[in-house]
Structure 1
Amino acid sequence: MIYRVLGLMSGSSLDGLDLAYVHLHAGAGKWGYTFEAAETVPYTPEWRSRLEGAATLDARTYLLLDQEYGHFLGEKVNAFIRDRGLDFQVQLVASHGHTVFHQPAAGGRGAGAPAGHGAEAPAGHGAGSSVPGMTAQLGSGAAIAAVTGLQTVSDLRALDVALGGQGAPIIPIGEKLLFPGQRYFLNLGGIANVSDTAAGIAFDVCPANRVLNLLAEQKGVPFDRDGVLAASGKVVPSLLKTLDGLAYYRQAPPKSLDNAFGIRMVYGTIRESGCTVEDGLRTYVEHIARQVGAALSDRRVAEMPAREMLVTGGGAHNGFLMERLRENLASLGIQATVPEAGVVDFKEALVMALFGVLRLRQEENTLASVTGASRNSIGGALWNGQEG
């Protein structure tokens, strides 16, 4: 059976909206995919600013923005379909939305490993707390369905968080089903996360492109192309020691991060150090490489002889970051491999599409072994865009 789905992803790096129209092939208990069309729509300065500042809004203004951004997403879907002549072909839209708040509960299996929020204090309410957690992504699924007239799946993380899980990462279900011959994955997006599909483990490692981009913006550029600025700087040992010593890195999985940890704690620490932008970038590249290596040296993640790791996300295009990662991973016997460009840039949108289809089929799409929830679940709210 073939499902024709449009997956939408807006990552924490705020570089734009990813749209991937894919055909998902299901048969004999196996899944396959083909990319039919894909595009990244850059955010205008206005949208970038509004998304970046959404966490500071009052409740009424936030909810209005949720609806407005949902209509924006629906309009981008309509334009994508119209421009490519895909009318009456897309069966389903699966939208991740744009994460603004991510504060899973500290109790349950994920105790002691919630998302970082703000300074060193984790996002949860303390081990053993009975206060439930929450996660919130802008982009009303109802608005998308209303604008497009298409079935839409949204609010992908909420059920897992309600079940006591981290609500993240949710990508491993796609890695497991769509890349069955591959065990290890590293995504270098706004946040870096690793997956070991055989062990059923995945977690956020550290902030990545979001911090690198914030530093690059101080030089008047949106990002450090190919890591040229970072390569020209020097590692600041005292800063590197401070970053490596953050409490989050000593927590055991399951665990996840929100944007506030990267912006306030990590980026704030680099700014307060008084180092140059180049030295800050160089030091932070080293920090990412060291933390990924530390995560993979854990026996729970790297206990098997198959050591090829598939690297995706915007950071895979950063030549200097990849150079430092490869050197750190080589000592563990792990080879970092960058796949075809479509997978590098649109893997998350592809997995969102699969996530939506699994929701439509009433099949599990969120793994408790990854998130620490009380059970696997079928996440996502389903909105019918047409009458009848």
Structure 2
Amino acid sequence: MSTLVEINFDGIIGPSHNYAGLSVGNIASSTNAGETAYPREAALQGITKMRHNLDLGLAQGFFMPLDRPNTGWLESLGTTVDDAEAHIRAASFSASSMWAANAATISPAPNAPDGKCHLTVANLQTMPHRSHEWPGTLAQLKLAFANGEYFSVHAPVPSPFGDEGAANHMRLCSTHDAAGVEIFVYGKSGGPFPARQHIEASKAVARIHGLNTERVIFAQQAEIAIAAGAFHNDVVAVANERVLFTHELAFEQPEALYDAIRSTMPDAEIIIVPADKVSLEDAIKSYLFNAQLVTLPDAAGMALILPTEARENEAVWNYLTELVSGNGPIRRLCPVDVRQSMANGGGPACLRLRVVASPETVDQRFMATPQKLDRIEKVVAEYWPEAIHPDQLSGPDLTAAIGKARRRLLEICGLSELAG
């Protein structure tokens, strides 16, 4: 078996992508509620980002959009697409599974006593529009990581303990194929907004994965960060190998966290962005930390794959330019255009789930190549709706078009068994 590498699995943005403003505490989602969304453009932007990663020499995978509207979920509520109240109908159409960072929490094989990569699908129970994602996500995880010699896929933590997946989980390690320390970030209070990751869920995932308690840290997300719009930890902090890149207001007790990291992993490098250089407001607006912090091949250092909004924010870009001009581990800035996702509150890091594994152990139907992305792009260009306004979600023509688009994508990817 080849060396373990980090594979980024991006969620292909689904044909029902719309701005219904369903995510309480997500400033971008609330701000753009009721605006017209452009699903075709959104999906093409996501595909371009995947191409960019491949061009950097990174391993890249993808997940399929889920079946929308979720008529089974509506039936369980005693209603239909035609009869449902507007907010319930919108929740059934939600394309939020595109944000694969919320799909599951991952503990790579080097961290697990049984030598397998463990994946626990997130229940996402705090938000109604996301609470019905996990069955469809679990079906994909069981296909993509079906090889029981290398993977163990787990059902969600039961409600009422909210689990939002890898968006609230970080791993620090010397290299991706080495054992490391896992950091589970939870919330207690978010002021006017709900804390979505419960400590009970984080502890349950750590137990289910069989992690060594001496290599696990539980850290509380700062209430001020949640209240400012950092609904997930990955909006204010990101880690890669031995580097933690974080805003100074990300955690409730930052010094205690940093001490715990250093005592467990002395060679960890913690880069703290001061609030007097980049305000919490600017960090969240630009999604500076919702970047993919990746290790480039051939000892080229690390790169930040950032939304273009970070480049357009003067304070953020000035800080980043100074950062990469030094001798630190982050050497390259790679802005990418994911504006359609950003307008709904998800940056580059939201769109991907990081899985450390040997690519050949993964079901190859979920692995990206330039040729496969060409085929996906053609389907998106032909079948994805050009525009959707929330008022259109009750139309039968749109429902039929969304279903046809997804079925065609599944067909060309050889994944028609997910059609339901």
Q: What TM-score does the superposition give when structure 1 sets the normalisation length?
A: 0.34
Report the TM-score when normalising by structure 2.
0.32
